[in-house]
Amino acid sequence: VDFTKRGRIFDEFLDIVQRLWAGETVSHDSDFFRFENAQITPLPKAGRIPLYIGGFVGKALDRVVKHGDGYFGSEDAVPAFLEKFAATGREPAEARVRIPGLYIAVARDPERAMEELGPYYHHIVTTYAAWNAEDNALGMESAPDKPLTLEEFKKSGMLQIWTPEQAVSKFKDMQERMPIEHFMMAMPSGLPAERFVEYAEVFANEVIPAFQ
């Protein structure tokens, strides 16, 4: 999707779909969407489907505040989101935040986990960097000259592997700084699912109980 248009396309889509969820019969004619007398059934039981929207630049966070039921994205962008949320007259404590830990894993042996998981996360980072550079997707004036090698990536700190105790401490600190509801530890693409079971079980058995 054209980088210069995709924000407008998404905004328009969100306007349309929320009207449909509300039970309206919608006709629309624009550069991006064209249809007449559209309806959906069955309607959402609560009148809408909860929307958690991501992003980290100004316009994207404006979109979250306008259309979203909560923010789903980078921990680093949460303060800016809360500032925009508060600017609408709402209390920051009322905001809803969910963090996808795309480059965070929990393991009893972080060094061993880095050796096993590092290549998969490195592939993800390298691939996304190439895609982002294609259309200046991050709004950067220039992309890095060359991708990180696997060893450089392991030492860069981009991939955080915590012990269960470290994870509990960091999540509790996160709770004190922002109204976070959920945190997601994602399995890196390409890794056989059975090899991630160990990490998922550590997270489920040694981290989640601290927040129940």
- Residue 152 reports pLDDT greater than 60: yes
C-alpha–C-alpha distance, residues 154 and 108, integer Å: 18
Q: 53 in helix, strand or coil?
A: strand
pLDDT mean across residues, the chain: 91
C-alpha–C-alpha distance, residues 9 and 166, integer Å: 41
- The encoded tokens of residue 118 equal 């590092």
List b or e across 22-57, with b for residues whose CB sees 16 or more CB atoms inside 10 angstroms: eeeebeeeeeeeeeeeeeeeeeeeeeeeebbbbbee
The β-bridge partners of 101 are: 185
Residue 209: the pLDDT is 97
Q: Please report, for the chain, the start and end positions of each structural domain, with discontinuous segments joined by +.
A: 3-100, 102-178+193-211
C-alpha–C-alpha distance, residues 110 and 163, integer Å: 7
Residue showing tokens 């401490």: 169
Nearest to residue 71, comparing CAs of 208, 80, 140? Answer: 80
- Residue 187 reports pLDDT greater than 60: yes
Mean pLDDT of 67-75: 94
Mean pLDDT of 96-117: 95
Nearest to residue 163, comparing CAs of 110, 94, 126? Answer: 110
Percentage of the chain with pLDDT > 70? 94
Q: Would you tell me how many other CB atoms lie within 10 Å of the CB of residue 175?
A: 13
- Residue 131 reports pLDDT greater than 70: yes
Task: State how far the alpha carbon of 94 is from the alpha carbons of 72, 78, 89, 178, 179, in Å.
Answer: 15, 13, 11, 10, 8
**What is the pTM (predicted TM-score) of this model?**
0.81
Residue 128: the pLDDT is 81
CB 12 within 8 A of CB 33: yes
- Residue 202 reports pLDDT greater than 70: yes
- Residue 141 reports pLDDT greater than 80: no
Mean pLDDT of 39-49: 91
